[in-house]
Amino acid sequence: MHEWGTTSPPIIPTIRTHGAHRLVTDTYTPLYSPEGEIAGVIGILNDITERKVQEAAARAGNEKLRAVFESLVDGILVTNIEGKIVDANEASASLLGYPSRGALIGQYALTLVAEQEHERARLTMTDLDESRQARLLDTTMLRADGTTFHAEIHAVILRGEDQRAGYVVLIRDITERKAQEKALRTSLETLRGVFESLTDGITVTDMQGIITDSNEATLAMHAMLSREDLIGRSAFTLIHPSEHAAALENMQRTLDAGVSGICEYTMVRSDGSTFIGSLNAVLLRDSDGNPSGFVALTSDITERKAQAHRLAENEARLRFLTDHS
């Protein structure tokens, strides 16, 4: 039953027009006779079908967004302009050690950052406000039990009606990545130590044979003062021009077989003098298995060759004396 003059009746009737159902609101106004008695009513129907369809679509869209929001493995916090948390997904609660996302609502996001990182976090948010560009911050986050973890924070401004309404902050636990990076740095430092401690020369080149790295032994071998004297040069400049053709063939063999095998060349020092070098090269590959360059191990065998020559001469003399004694 409808009240007279109401514009928002509790029941929205459905009518059929041209075979389709439409949703409407109805408003009724009484008509009075000259004697003041109700003689009839005027009914006004307002078609709200499109509005209801849009509202249903908005609800469905919000439900989809919430489903995405909750399905992410990274933590997401939504704050107001003061930095107070107004929404969060369950992943953020798990990441930060809280029993549920509700336990995060009402807290200030800055309190979730380790105290020693507060100033950096403030500067990052200030920069975000001024630049209006998304900002990335590596920081230390604080769990509910007081323990910490390394996190990567990605913050963007949340807007409402063309005004800044707050922030959306994505939190990713990068503790494992940091540990891997540290282990990699340690491994690289160890390799560099081995690299520099070898008495043989090591030369690293790209696929065109341009030198990208070398150890101190290579510098000493070629009488060069600094690594900068080598970086960017062709490795062929370290070999006597008369043997470039052989070196090019060996480079192709290394590319085909993955290793050159022991090769002997007349090597050139920076002062133009020469020495005999024994070189063994291997093919380098990138993480996808594609050829990326070469690494060559070079030994100065001049003295060894001279000793072998002297030994051969002594043996020849000994044979001569034996044969003629």
210 and 298 housed in the same domain: yes
Answer yes or no: do 228 and 300 share one domain.
yes
List of E strands, the chain:
14-17, 20-32, 38-47, 75-80, 85-88, 135-142, 148-160, 163-173, 201-205, 211-214, 263-268, 274-285, 291-300
Helices and strands (H and E) in the chain: how many: 7, 13
Q: Where does the pLDDT of residue 42 fall: very low under 50, low under 70, confident under 90, or very high at 90 and above?
A: confident
Of 175, 190, 217, the domain-final residue? 175
Which residues make Cβ contacts (< 8 Å) with residue 280, sequence separation at least 6?
259, 260, 261, 262, 263, 296, 297
Model confidence pLDDT, tens digit, residues 132-177: 777 788 999 999 999 999 999 998 888 766 677 889 899 999 999 9
* Average pLDDT of every residue of the chain: 84
Q: What is the mean pLDDT of residues 284-299?
A: 92
Separation between Cα atoms, residue 252 and residue 93, nearest integer Å: 58
Domain co-membership, 216 together with 155: no
Average pLDDT over residues 76-105: 92
Question: Which of 34, 63, 92 is where one domain is finished?
Answer: 63
pLDDT for 251-289, tens place per residue? Answer: 999 999 999 999 999 999 999 999 999 999 999 999 889
pLDDT at 111: 94
- At 100 the pLDDT is 93
In whole angstroms, what is the distance from residue 252 CA to residue 247 CA?
Answer: 9
pTM: 0.51
Q: Do 2 and 20 have their domain in common? A: yes
237 belongs to a structural domain: yes
Q: What are phi and psi of 160, to 5 degrees?
A: -140, 120
More confident residue, 70 or 92: 92
> Is 132 inside any structural domain?
yes
158 falls within a domain:
yes
In the predicted structure, residue 7 carries a pLDDT above the cut 60: no
Q: What is the pLDDT of residue 10?
A: 44
CATH number of the domain bearing residue 230? 3.30.450.20
Same domain, yes or no, for 283 and 203? Answer: yes
Which residues, 6+ apart, have CB-to-CB distance to 301 below 8 Å? 264, 276, 277, 278
**115-128 pLDDT tens trace:** 999 999 999 888 88
Same domain, 90 and 124: yes
pLDDT(15) > 80: no
* Model confidence pLDDT, tens digit, residues 204-248: 999 999 999 999 999 999 999 898 989 999 999 999 999 999 999
pLDDT for the residue numbered 3: 42
Residues 303 and 215 in one domain: yes
Position 21 confidence tier, pLDDT thresholds 50, 70, 90: low
On the question of pLDDT at 1 being above 50, the answer is no
Mean pLDDT of all residues in 313-320: 74
Q: Is the predicted pLDDT of residue 44 greater than 90, yes or no?
A: no
Please name every residue paired with 211 in a beta bridge, in sequence order, or none if there are none: 205
Residues 122 and 153 placed together within one structural domain of the fold:
yes
165 shares a domain with 148: yes
pLDDT computed for residue 55 by the predictor: 66
In the prediction, which pLDDT does 11 show? 44
Integer Cα distance of 65 and 68 in angstroms: 5
Range of the domain at 295: 198-307
Same domain, 170 and 78: yes
44/107 same-domain check? no
Q: For the residues 177-181, what does the mean pLDDT come to?
A: 89
Do 125 and 223 have their domain in common?
no
Compute the distance between CA of residue 293 and CA of residue 21 in angstroms, rounded to an integer: 72
**What total of structural domains would you count in the chain?**
3
Where among 33, 63, 93 does a domain terminate?
63
Average pLDDT, integer, range 11-25: 60
Percentage with pLDDT > 70 across the chain = 84
